Structure formats: C-alpha cells, structure tokens
Structure 1
C-alpha cells in the first residue's frame, strides 16, 4: 500500500520506518525543515518505563488545588474560555480513581517495556548513536510523603515486569554520587536499571536518514491544511509547500502522528480526540563542574522534573525538563517557570551546570486524560492514529510505531495494549469511544 504519514516527529518517523519494513510505500509530510523539530526537539531524554504513574492519580486533585494560581507549579491549569480544556479536565478527574490509575499503569508499563525492547533491538541492528546512556533511571524523593506514596505504584510495576526497586537514600547516593549534596533531605528513591536516556531529536534524525536510504520519501516544509473524505474514506490530504503552492497527496492509508495538533486536523471529519496540549519546559546547559553533575538519568517526582546528560561532539550537556502548563497552544516561555527549573537544579547540584549559558525551550505534549496514547484504526477505515503520547512519546515511540505498522498491515500487535479501532480488545468506555471516534 501507499501510506501517508502525517508528522515527522518521533511517532511519525518510527511509524514510517516500521511501515517500510512491512513493505509499504511510505511518504512522510511535516511543516518543519527537519524531522523531530517540535515536541521531539528538546525533551527530557528519558526512555522511562518506570515513569508509568499517570498525572491523573488519586493524589492529583488535591495537588492541583494546592498549585492553582502558582506560576511555578509543576502542573498548572491556566483556565481559559476553552470548552476543549474544560472537557479534558473533567475527563482527567474521572481518571484519578484508584481503579483507573491501576488500569492505566498496567497498559503504560506493557507498552513501555515492549517499546524499550524494540528500541534496543533497533539500536543494535542499525548501529544507531544518539548520546544514549544505559545506566538506568533513579527516582529520588525529598518528601517523605511522596516517597511513601511511590511504594504502591512501584510494586505494581514490578508485578508487571518493570523492575523498579525501592531503595534507601544511602543506596541512591551510592548509585549517583552527585546526590550527596542533598543527602540530608533525601527520603529515599526507586531505581530501574533497565531504563535509559538519550537525545530524542538526534534519534529521530538518525532514523529518518535510515528511512530515506530505504526508500521512504520525506516532504519537509509542507503544511498540512486538510484531510478530505469521500465515500467514508480519506481521499487525499491537502498541503501547501514552503512557497505557498497547493498540492493534493493521495494514498491508500493515512497515519495521523501530529501530536497536539492531531485533534484540530480531524475535527472536521467528526473525530473528537481526547488530546489537549500540555506545555512542557526544558533547560539545556553546558556542564561546568563535572564532579557535581549527575551521570545517571534522574527523576525528581516532587517537582515533576527529569534530568539527563549528553556527551557528544556538541560537548558535555545537562538537559532538565518537565512541568506541565495547560494553556492552549501557547508556546511562549514563562520566565518564572524557567527560573524555577534553574533554581531547583542549583539546589540539587550547585555549580554543576553553566546557568549563564542556559538555553530554554518549550514544547506541546499531546496529553490524554488517562496518559494512554491513541494507537490504531479510527472510525474512518483508512485513517490510523498514532498520537496522544503525552510525556512518554520518547519512551513509547518505537513500540507504538511497530504496533501501528502491524495494524495497518492487518497483523495483530505483539503487545497487549488498549489499542483503538480494529487493533483493540477493550470496551468502549476504556477506549473513550465518544471522543476517539
């Protein structure tokens, strides 16, 4: 088949790669000049199966009330006259029950484990290099209450095969000596040795290059303006190139991998996807004092921040990313939130990074209320979804792309996950059917 992939971020590129491996003729369309240039550009860098507890959990409503109005809050609802935001928020609250949280963790871990294995196989088979580190991920806690609350989800993850182990503060410092500065404040930690980190943007560009070598066509600098339906199927996609020239591009099947912009494109088709943009921030800075800088990828659960380190020809760099701001499609940098991240870094690892050379970035994560991405066939038979991955796009990219390629090819996915449409084995309620169809 001729398959048109809409979007050249991590999900679009991995979809294209695995679709090509299934023998399809693949074209990727994206408005940016290079692959991975939006949400995949400067994210936190973690391939983190252990980051499976969704934002929507039993403790979230109280935290949201506490954070309401705080410009530096880890999760900030900036209330707007936006019905989509309010509906998303109501669905988010419905996902905060213990039963829904356990259900969502189960599916997030299954997809994450499969995806991490798929990434490792891909790296081995293709010889990909993207500043990867395979030293595991350490979640540390400076709040006893947060540490205590982490034990039950960690146990559930272990039961599902994700070896996220609860460890003492002393053991955390042994694994990551850079934490010694805050040892008196550490309540404890969890450690997942199998998790990884790496530069997602570099990975996307490297894999896209392999796709091109294998015959995939990338039409970069093309703005997707509409999907047109005829006879109950997608007939073509309308685009304008970087010189404003109109084109129609036709295929047998279409894959929607446009992240936060996915619901806007398919709304005219009567598809209401439960995706809302959650603006995340990142700070990248050169390492100033290597003795104070972390080696292991870290997660600060209390402040909703992740820490990665890249060492390449570009130099030794720290990447700190996180927080979420629900404020529509606004990507403006809020200096208060940027300063809060830098301040936290200095509290934890004083002098480790050169804050004078800090580079700030924001990206729109395509968040679903449950944190489960939408992968599978939509109500329109030749339109497939690979979107809504929220904070775990990098973690779930390879497994999602491979699963989507199998579904398009009429094959069963290799992982037991709550797929939508023909690839699904779940109830309408679990599929959020009124919104995803």
Structure 2
C-alpha cells in the first residue's frame, strides 16, 4: 500500500521504518529540514520502561500547589486564557486516583517494555550506533518521604515482572560512583537495571538513512495544511508543495496532531507540555554519571551520552511557547551540580526546549480513527524515545492487518469516547 506518514520525529521515522519493512510504499512529510529537529532533538536520552509512570498520580494535585510557590519547581503553569489547556488539566486531574494510576501505568509499562525489546532487535539488525548504554536507570531520593512513596510503583513493577532494586545511600554510590562527591542528601534509590540510554537525535537520523535505503521517500521543508476526506476515508493531504495521495495516512505530529485533526471533527486530547535540557561536555569523567539518574526532587534526568551529559526535565504549561527562560536553565544546572558537581563544563553547554505531546492519562494514542484509512501514533509525552520502536511496530501491524504482539485495543483514541 501507499502510505503517507506525517511527522519526521522519532515516532514518525520508526513508523516509516516498520511500515517499509512490512512491504509498504512510504512517504514521510515534515515541515523541518531533516529528521528529529523538534521534540526528538535533545531530550533526556533515557530509555526507561520501568520508569514509565503517569504524571497523573495520587498526591499530584497537592504537590502541584506547593510547586507553584517554589523557585526551582518541576512544574510551571503560566496563566493563559486557553480553554484547551484548562480542559486538559481537568482531564489529567481526573486521572489522579489510585485506580486510574494503576491502569495507566500498566499500559505504559506494557508498551515501553515491548518497545525496548523491539529496539534491541532493530539495533542488532541494522547496526545503528547512537551513544547507547545499557547500565540501567537510578531514581534518586533526597528525602525519606520520597523513598517511602515508591510502594505503588514497586507493586506494578513486581506485577509486570520488571527487575528492580531498592538501594540505600551506599548502594546508590556503588551504582553511580560519581555520586560520592554529591553535595545533596542521598537517602536511597530505585534502580531499574534493564533500562538503557541513547541519543535520540543520532538514532533517528541514522534510522532515516536506513529508511531511505528501503525506498522510503522524504519530503522535508513542507508545510502540512489539511487532510481532505470523502465519506469515511481520507483522500489526500494538502501541503505547501501540493497534495499527497495515498491509501493510508499516519499522523505522528506530536503536539501538532490535534490542530491538524480538528477540522475533521476528531478531538485528540494531546497538549504541548514544554520541557528543557542542557547538554554539557564532560571535563571530569570520574565525577560524571555512568548511565541515567532521575532526580526525584526536581523531576530531572541526568544522562551520560558518550562524552556529554544531558540534563533534561521540568514541565511547563505554556502553550506553544519556544522561549528559553534563564530560570529553567538554572534549575537544570542546580540539579546536576548538586549530584555530579564539576563533571561538565557549563560555559560550553547547549540550552534547548521541546514540546512534549502529553495525553491526560500519559498513555500514547496508537491505532485507528473514525476514518478507515487514518491512523494515529502520537501523545507519548516524555517517553517518545522510550516507546518509539514498540509503538511503531504495533502501528505497522495494525495497518498491515496483523495482530500486534501486545494488547493494543486500549491504546487507541476510542478509549476517550
């Protein structure tokens, strides 16, 4: 079949790859001049299936109120007269129950664990290198209260058979020796040894080259304007360079997905939650992280990517803003210096922001729509890199009329009906 994939981030490129491997004729369209130049460009670098947890959780509403008054808060809400934002926030708050948390985390871990396995197979088959590491993730707690609150996560991990270790301070230092000189208090940690790390941009650009070798066509620098329909089917996508016709269409536009589908009467509950990162060259390897560490206090990930340290995180509700406030950079710098002081050179750091496509339940939207030839692969939030390969494989199976290897019915847009 002829298939058009809209979006050339890690979700769009992995979708194109698995569709091409399934024998389809694929064209990728994107407004950027190359792959992975939006949210996939400088994310935190972690591939963390076990850490796939919903933002909507019991206790989050109370924490959010406190964060509003903190200088280095992990959540920032810029007041806006935006009904879409407030509607999305209300939907997210509705998921902050123990029952919804368990359901949503189960879905997320299912997709993420599968995705890690698919990524490993892809890496072996294609020989792609992207500064990847396989030394796990350490979620670090600075207070006893944080450590005591992991019971619900541990229960889901145990239920799903995900290996984990609960560590004391010495155990954390043994896993990440650079923490020996940390000036922040270290109470303990939750380590997930099967998690991985890697540069999403390097992976996506390398995979795009493999896609081209498989016959995938790329149309970069093209503005996507609208989808045209006839009855219950999409007939073409109109763009700044003319129409593209196909038998199937895949929308993998991240935060821009709802805007494209609104004219079709499809409501997609995806909102752009802004995140930030800094990337530092390593100047003292003995003080640097070996893998990925999650700083629970600031909700910041600190990841080793070859000879660099990527520090990413935070959540800002501010629409499609692309500014780079100094205060956000200071929070990221504070976290990494508290834990791995002197490891990186801040004078040569790259400061970046990206818009994460978040759903109210933190689970991605993968699968069909009311139009028989229109499919979605969007809404992965902070876990697009973690879930990319598995999501794409599921999507390719659905489009190819094959049964996915994992349960996928509850991942579709219809769950919001």
TM-score (norm 1): 0.93
Aligned with 2:328: secondary structure?
helix
Q: Specify the alignment match of 2:179 in structure 1.
A: 179
1:174 and 1:398 map into 2 onto residues whose CA distance is 31
1:332 and 1:233 map into 2 onto residues whose CA distance is 39
Q: Specify the alignment match of 2:416 in structure 1.
A: 432
Give per-residue Cα distances to partners, 1:44-99, cap 9 Å, x unaligned. Answer: 01000122221100021011111125463201222211111011011000000000
* 8 Å Cα contact 2:287-2:340 kept in structure 1: yes
Aligned with 1:100: secondary structure?
helix
2:219 and 2:410 map into 1 onto residues whose CA distance is 28
* 8 Å Cα contact 1:280-1:324 kept in structure 2: yes
Q: Specify the alignment match of 1:405 in structure 2.
A: 396
Q: Does 1:386 align with 2:381?
A: no
Mapping of 1:30-179 within 5 angstroms? 30-70=30-70, 72-179=72-179
1:4 and 1:112 map into 2 onto residues whose CA distance is 25
* 8 Å Cα contact 1:110-1:417 kept in structure 2: no
* 8 Å Cα contact 2:182-2:341 kept in structure 1: no
Aligned with 2:309: secondary structure?
strand
1:336 offset after TM fit, Å? 0.6
Q: Does 1:302 align with 2:292?
A: no
Which of 333, 342, 345 is the aligned partner of 2:336?
345
**Deviating 4+ runs (over 6 angstroms):** none
- What residue ranges of structure 2 are gaps of 5+ in the alignment? none
Give per-residue Cα distances to partners, 1:190-231, cap 9 Å, x unaligned. Answer: 111110000000000011100000100011111101111122
2:238 and 2:184 map into 1 onto residues whose CA distance is 59
1:184 offset after TM fit, Å? 7.3
* 8 Å Cα contact 2:364-2:411 kept in structure 1: no
Which of 255, 259, 271 is the aligned partner of 2:254?
259
1:340 offset after TM fit, Å? 1.3
1:409 and 1:133 map into 2 onto residues whose CA distance is 33
2:116 and 2:227 map into 1 onto residues whose CA distance is 32
* 8 Å Cα contact 1:173-1:183 kept in structure 2: no
Q: Does 1:272 align with 2:267?
A: yes
Q: Specify the alignment match of 1:282 in structure 2.
A: 277
Q: Does 1:374 align with 2:358?
A: no
CA shift in 2, pair 1:416/1:140, >3 Å: same
Q: Specify the alignment match of 1:197 in structure 2.
A: 197
CA shift in 2, pair 1:420/1:341, >3 Å: closer
TM-score (norm 2): 0.97
Mapping of 1:21-32 within 5 angstroms? 21-32=21-32
CA shift in 2, pair 1:154/1:417, >3 Å: farther
2:147 and 2:171 map into 1 onto residues whose CA distance is 14
Give per-residue Cα distances to partners, 1:128-150, cap 9 Å, x unaligned. Answer: 10000111111111121111111
1:331 offset after TM fit, Å? 1.1
2:409 and 2:81 map into 1 onto residues whose CA distance is 32
Give per-residue Cα distances to partners, 1:140-166, cap 9 Å, x unaligned. Answer: 111211111113312311221221221
2:250 and 2:154 map into 1 onto residues whose CA distance is 34
1:187 and 1:152 map into 2 onto residues whose CA distance is 19
Aligned with 2:115: secondary structure?
helix
Give per-residue Cα distances to partners, 1:270-301, cap 9 Å, x unaligned. Answer: 01101000000000011121111111211112
Q: Specify the alignment match of 1:243 in structure 2.
A: none
Give per-residue Cα distances to partners, 1:22-55, cap 9 Å, x unaligned. Answer: 1110000001111111000000010001222211
Q: Does 1:213 align with 2:213?
A: yes
